[in-house]
């Protein structure tokens, strides 16, 4: 995506929601906030209190615009909770989810505006009719309407791959353990089953289940090494217990001097 999306808030009633949206923009790499008929945004008021570090740039640099200006100059995406229409009525249909929106915007070479409406009433039908796309967050059918600030945060989060070059999270590239180590684990698992005298009829199935489990999990080298250590220790303990049992059985069969007890002792 060659152009950073702008975020548009239409007639927000609560300064705190404007501040929350500014903060979400800062979180997810956006900076251009445009407000249609906004409430008063005092520097020591609720909006700046909710904005976090966005009070330093996103919020004070927000532009006041008209709805008509946005429609005339941007590819527009209207965000709404109400999508109860079908292919015969196109005011709020078809729609995309925020995750799907990220995919569609990735290849668009155009300035895009993500448009959010009022807290209580959202975007009016006549406004929706002028927008190019509709986006809606999947939510409970019993109560699909989200708080304005929450809705904006969810949508901007889903767009993060288009707007954030690098996050604070460390690299989590997964390196699967070497097959030799994984096969060694399976061998030790078989030895572990031997040590506990596992049911022969169930052995083959159990080994196969373990192989499927490990195969799906793609363990790292460290993980498989740790599991090997656990199996070795458990197997050693089982072997030691078996040795003790054998010595105990032997002591029952022989006297203190090592000679087998006679029948009349």
116, β-bridge pairs: 9
Looking at the fold, whether 247 and 216 belong to one and the same domain comes out as: yes
Burial 103-112 (b: 16+ CB within 10 A, else e): eebeeeeeeb
Q: Which of 9-18, 135-144, 229-238, 242-251 has the lowest mean pLDDT?
A: 242-251
For residue 156, give the nearest of 19, 11, 22, 18 by alpha carbon. 22
Which residue, of 136, 163, 190, is where some domain finishes? 163
Give the confidence band of 265 by pLDDT, cuts at 50, 70, 90. Answer: very low
Which residue, of 139, 163, 187, is where some domain finishes? 163
Please write the tens of the pLDDT for every residue from 84-96. 655 555 555 667 8
CA 169, 170, 171, 174 dihedral sign is negative
Looking at the fold, whether 113 and 195 belong to one and the same domain comes out as: no
CA distances from 210 to 96, 112, 182, 242 (A): 41, 50, 11, 25
Give the confidence band of 143 by pLDDT, cuts at 50, 70, 90. Answer: confident
For 107, the domain range is 6-163
């Amino acid at each position: 995506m060659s152009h950073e999306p702008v975020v548009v808030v239409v007639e927000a009633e609560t300064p705190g929601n404007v501040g929350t949206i500014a903060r979400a923009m800062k979180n997810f790499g956006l900076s251009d906030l445009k407000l249609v008929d906004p409430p008063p945004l005092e520097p020591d008021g609720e909006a700046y209190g909710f904005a976090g570090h966005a009070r330093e740039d996103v919020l004070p640099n927000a532009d006041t615009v008209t709805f008509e200006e946005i429609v005339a100059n941007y590819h527009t995406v209207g965000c709404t909770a109400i999508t109860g229409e079908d292919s015969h009525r196109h005011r709020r249909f078809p729609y995309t989810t925020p995750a799907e929106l990220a995919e569609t915007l990735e290849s668009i070479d155009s300035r895009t505006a993500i448009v959010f409406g009022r807290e209580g009433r959202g975007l009016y039908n006549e406004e929706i009719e002028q927008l190019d796309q509709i986006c809606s967050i999947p939510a409970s059918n019993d109560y699909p309407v989200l708080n304005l600030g929450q809705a904006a945060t969810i949508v901007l989060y889903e767009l993060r791959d288009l707007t954030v070059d690098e996050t604070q999270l460390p690299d989590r590239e997964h390196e699967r353990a070497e097959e030799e180590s994984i096969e060694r684990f399976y061998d030790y698992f078989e030895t572990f089953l031997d040590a506990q005298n596992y049911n022969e009829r169930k052995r083959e199935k159990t080994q196969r289940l373990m192989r499927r489990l490990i195969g799906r999990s793609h363990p790292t080298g460290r993980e498989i090494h740790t599991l090997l250590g656990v199996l070795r220790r458990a197997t050693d303990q089982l072997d030691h217990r078996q040795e003790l049992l054998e010595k105990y059985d032997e002591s029952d069969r022989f006297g203190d001097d090592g000679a087998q007890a006679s029948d009349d002792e």
